[in-house]
Chains A and B, each alone.
Chain A
Amino acid sequence: MAISLTETAANRVNTFLEQRGKGVGLRLGVKTHGCSGMAYVMEFADEIDEHDTVFDDHGVKLIVDPKSLVYLDGTQMDYTKEGLNEGFKFSNPNESGACGCGESFTV
């Protein structure tokens, strides 16, 4: 079981955390929502729950709750630019389909 992120993504996360001035890491998860079933959740984490799994990659703590971990296992996170837009991108091997907009997915 593992979740990872690229160095670019790690650098961005660390910068954002530093600017925010607090937080222990990044919480990743999935929510049942959206037009195609599920949506990713990405939030600053101020605390780690006892049931959480923590992955350490490139100096960033990725915190995942047990329910989400099933859907996220093997995911790699990257930070990319598309035109003027920039942000985090998930490569999730569990994903079998996404809606047209790409904001939600099914497994």
Chain B
Amino acid sequence: MALLQISEPGMSTAPHEHRLAIGIDLGTTNSLVASVRSGEASTLADENGEHLLPSVVRYLENGEVIVGTKAQAALGSDLQNTIASAKRFLGRAVSEIKTLAGQLPYDFVETEGSVPQIQTCAGNVTAIEVSSEILKSLKERAENTLGGELKGAVITVPAYFDDAQRQATKDAARLAGLNVYRLLNEPTAAAVAYGLDQKTDVDNKVIAIYDLGGGTFDVSLLRLNKGVFEVLSTGGDSALGGDDFDHVIAEWLLTESQQTATQDEFLLRAAMLEGRRAKEALSDTAEVDVSLGEWQGTFNVEQFNALIQPLVKKTLMACRRAVRDADVAKEDIAEVVMVGGSTRVPYVRQLVGEFFDRPPLVDIDPDKVVAIGAGIQADLLAGNKPDSDLLLLDVIPLSLGLETYGGLVEKVIARNTTIPITRAQEFTTFKDSQTAMTIHVLQGERETVEANRSLAKFALRGIPAMVAGAARIKVTFQVDADGLLSVFAEEESTGVKTSVEVKPSYGLSDSEIEGMIRASMENAKEDVEQRRLREAQVDADRSLEALDSAMAADADVLLSEPEKQLLLDARVELVTAKNSENADTVKNAIKQLEKAAEFYVARRMDSNIQQAMSGHNITEFES
């Protein structure tokens, strides 16, 4: 008979209707799958007892695809057909990976589309396809372990992943035959693994996630508010990780053994491997015997700590920046969660603990903690928990908005708004008889178009000719649970509509996002000035437009030549002021023009009334 798992009270499922769900940590170097069985969340091992699946895929000429450890073993011999770190190109455009491609052994194919392809002996493959092979392998493992078909999966992504990268991750999952419940930010998943989303004493407090992997370092500050994690700030270093620890030990070994001048690749590799072995051994002991070629010696914790201290200090500087960016005090941080294999190093834990002034959470294996959080979330979304109204929500990392007249950005959805969300805003036409409107979707925190990131541009056509400001154009932004954006525009009186599935101009690194948020803070004052100026300029344009159209209509009838000249002079003043780059000057000039034109406005009004009444009997107006 089938093997059974324990359910929550009242949550038993009928035979063949088990709600099997998994969480997947799709990593750059390694991937994992986790699930909740009998109430316990754990990662699932393969037939060899290995939990980590190296994120490496090898394509063979006969069409066979090999994933994981066996593929990794071929990295030395069959580099071109063995793809590692595919996550780094997920959702990136050809132009964006050009810089990366120089350092990579793969043959990228120049394609028409925006998705880069890698040439292998089994044909061209995309990062989405490579990732889907990894997901397929994990899915198979999960189905064998759980004994049935999967209902759905939660897949984690870095907090800084943009729309394109998230969409690419979802595409890879779909290709692997997985039903994606949702994507979850990696730091959020780590917090969930420790149950911080359920702890009332942590509610409304700040949580720091310190993620030191093999090659990258990320720090995220989250605020938990009624089960919703808000990303306050992110930071890190995409070229700093545990491999650098190995590297400094390797250098030490070469120096001690007086072989620094060597060019011998084999020796260098041996030094790196010995460095890693020594590092891992020092997590448990104070001293370790080391050797390199003929040379033998000992290496102790104090030496190790001294070597890695500058590297760890570097991560703490990023932490300090993240704390500052989040605009919180260090005392506000209630918990520190350790993620990534390199946080096993005791000295890292010690310094991080000293920095945040509290012992970090280390009970859950730092390699597995993200997958476990995703597994818990998947179990919840599958409906295996009685209080499943407690759905964890994410937030959008950068504001989304539209370009408005004058090159300004009107934010439609503010940064850190919880998703999914739909928000609509009404816009109108600026000119008389305007029949089309460009909808320019932007992402970022700054006030002006050029300082933000352009996501999409499309036109709403067929707006009926009306006077400026009469058309009612409703623009709806919809961000789904995975942070993907759709924009709809509709002219409400006629129902003319158009929409766009945002095809974002791909790729923003975390440091870029961090930079964008930081720039908005640093330039806050300047931005406000800029906005005031642009708004004044738009007002000026509107006044000029009104004056011009009025004068074109009836200046010859209502104004004497000197009066005309007076108005034209005021007009010139305003045009000059408009270009002055000073909001107050522009505003003043608008006032001057309005004042100068007062008599003209009054005269036009009289004339309009007279025109309207002419031909009518006065009594008609009294009734």
Co-assembled chains A and B: yes
Chain A residues at the B interface, C-beta cutoff of 8 Å? 12-13, 15-16, 19-20, 26-27, 31, 33-35, 39-46, 80, 82-90, 98-99, 101-105
- Count chain B CB atoms within 10 A of each CB in A42, A86, A87 and give the residue with the most: A87
User: What are 16 inter-chain pairs, A to B, with CB distance below 8 A?
Assistant: A26-B6, A31-B12, A34-B14, A43-B10, A44-B6, A46-B9, A80-B3, A83-B47, A84-B45, A87-B37, A87-B38, A89-B3, A101-B15, A102-B1, A102-B2, A103-B1
B44 at the interface (CB under 8 A from A): yes
| Cα(A44)–Cα(B7), bound, Å | 6
Q: Which residues of chain B have C-beta atoms less than 8 A from A103's C-beta?
A: 1-2, 15-16
Q: Which residues of chain A have C-beta atoms less than 8 A from B7's C-beta?
A: 41-44
Chain B residues at the A interface, C-beta cutoff of 8 Å? 1-12, 14-16, 37-40, 44-47, 141, 144-147
Binding site of B, secondary structure by majority: helix, strand, loop or mixed? loop
Which 9 pairs show the lowest CB-CB distances between chains A and B? A87-B3, A103-B15, A102-B1, A34-B15, A84-B145, A85-B147, A84-B144, A16-B38, A41-B12
Partner of A33 from B2, B10, B15, B145 at Cβ < 8 Å: B15
| Cα(A42)–Cα(B47), bound, Å | 27
Partner of B16 from A12, A34, A90 at Cβ < 8 Å: A34
Whether A13 pairs with B14 at a CB distance below 8 angstroms is no
Partner of A101 from B9, B11, B16, B44 at Cβ < 8 Å: B16
Whether B39 pairs with A85 at a CB distance below 8 angstroms is no
Whether A89 pairs with B147 at a CB distance below 8 angstroms is no
Partner of A39 from B15, B38, B47, B146 at Cβ < 8 Å: B15
Partner of A88 from B4, B12, B16, B145 at Cβ < 8 Å: B4
Known: A83-B144, A84-B144, A103-B1. A13 touches B39 (CB 8 A): no
Not counting A16-B40, A31-B12, A86-B37, a sample of 12 additional A-B residue pairs whose C-beta atoms are within 8 angstroms of each other reads A16-B38, A33-B15, A35-B15, A42-B4, A42-B5, A42-B12, A43-B9, A43-B10, A45-B9, A83-B144, A84-B145, A89-B1
Whether B3 pairs with A33 at a CB distance below 8 angstroms is no
Which of chain A's residues has its CB closest to B1's CB?
A102
CB of A78, distance to nearest CB on chain B (Å): 10
CB of B136, distance to nearest CB on chain A (Å): 16
Whether A16 pairs with B3 at a CB distance below 8 angstroms is no
| Cα(A40)–Cα(B6), bound, Å | 11
CB of B4, distance to nearest CB on chain A (Å): 5
Q: Which residues of chain B have C-beta atoms less than 8 A from A27's C-beta?
A: 9
Binding site of A, secondary structure by majority: helix, strand, loop or mixed? strand
Whether A104 pairs with B15 at a CB distance below 8 angstroms is yes
Q: Which residues of chain B have C-beta atoms less than 8 A from A80's C-beta?
A: 3
Q: Which residues of chain A have C-beta atoms less than 8 A from B38's C-beta?
A: 12, 16, 87-88
| Cα(A80)–Cα(B15), bound, Å | 19
| Cα(A57)–Cα(B40), bound, Å | 22
Which of chain B's residues has its CB closest to A16's CB?
B38
Q: Which residues of chain A have C-beta atoms less than 8 A from B12's C-beta?
A: 31, 41-43
CB of A104, distance to nearest CB on chain B (Å): 5
Partner of A84 from B9, B11, B44 at Cβ < 8 Å: B44
Q: Which residues of chain B have C-beta atoms less than 8 A from A98's C-beta?
A: 1
Q: Which residues of chain B have C-beta atoms less than 8 A from A89's C-beta?
A: 1, 3-4
Q: Which residues of chain B have C-beta atoms less than 8 A from A12's C-beta?
A: 38
Q: Which residues of chain A have C-beta atoms less than 8 A from B8's C-beta?
A: 43-44
| Cα(A89)–Cα(B6), bound, Å | 11
Which of chain B's residues has its CB closest to A95's CB?
B1
Q: Which residues of chain B have C-beta atoms less than 8 A from A105's C-beta?
A: 1
- Count chain A CB atoms within 10 A of each CB in B5, B10, B147 and give the residue with the most: B147
Whether B146 pairs with A85 at a CB distance below 8 angstroms is yes
| Cα(A3)–Cα(B502), bound, Å | 60
| Cα(A19)–Cα(B45), bound, Å | 20
Which of chain A's residues has its CB closest to B46's CB?
A84
Q: Which residues of chain A have C-beta atoms less than 8 A from B37's C-beta?
A: 86-87
Which of chain A's residues has its CB closest to B7's CB?
A43
